[in-house]
Amino acid sequence: MDKSLIIARYDEDIEWVKKYNDFKITIYNKGNKLEDESFYKIINLENKGRESHSWLYHIVNNYYQLDEINVFLQGKIDDLDCMAFSNPNDYLEKINKYGFAASRYGLLGPFHWDWNVNIEKDIRYKRQWENNEISRSSIGFRNFSKKLFPDIPLFVATSYSGCFAVKKDMILLQSIGFYEELLDILSKNKNPIEGHYMERLWCYIFTKNKPLIDSIFDVIHTKIERTKILKFF
């Protein structure tokens, strides 16, 4: 089965990808120039739209010749706090269940939809938000999602860090125009808030909430594990 490994890179060391030469490897590079093209195809892009811009660029430009399995990963995957598998092959073991695979799932609910407000309180993004390093939008997360999917439910399964694998058939459930419109939105700024929206929506775009039950169990498991860790402090 044909399989692609698609990497969004800025300045990360991507020597690790050479171990996976059984994949067709494409690097979408938005940072310093890469010299070695013997192991992978390099496509240089302007630094816009976060990793989702790279994913959309790949989908739009390969829509009619996508491989059967497509693994989308960040340039560095060993420091994402278990939000991604460190071995791309691990996604292949899970992909048959939904045609989509993530290292684990999360759950979007009422609190998360007001993300434009909550981001100001999130220590991961507070400084960027206050310094206008994340571009604002006149449309909030919930309305952005409903514009794409008018019937999107209140509780939605999500995946993390923009890292996932998806089968071609799941990508083709949406028209090329759907992805072109999103690519245009993410092409306007280096760090658009819509890029953060998309990170949280990929799972729903491809699965229409099929992993919802898994996401509930993963959230419960994560909370239990964190509780165990806190007992040591």
More confident residue, 23 or 138: 23
More confident residue, 123 or 28: 28
Question: Left (φ > 0), alpha (ψ -120 to 50) or beta: where does 171 sit?
Answer: alpha
- Cβ neighbours of residue 58 closer than 8 Å, sequence gap 6 or more: 6, 26, 28, 70, 72
Helix segments in 99-140, DSSP class H? 110-113, 115-118, 126-130
Q: What pLDDT does 119 receive?
A: 57
Asked if residue 142 has pLDDT above 90, the reply is no
178-211 in b/e burial notation, b at 16+ Cβ within 10 A? ebeebbebbeebebbbbbbbbbbbbbbbbbbbbb
pLDDT band at 230 (very low <50, low <70, confident <90, very high): very low
Does the model's pTM come out above 0.75?
yes
pLDDT band at 191 (very low <50, low <70, confident <90, very high): confident
Q: What is the mean pLDDT of the chain?
A: 84
pLDDT band at 203 (very low <50, low <70, confident <90, very high): very high
Distance of alpha carbon 3 from alpha carbon 22, whole angstroms:
8
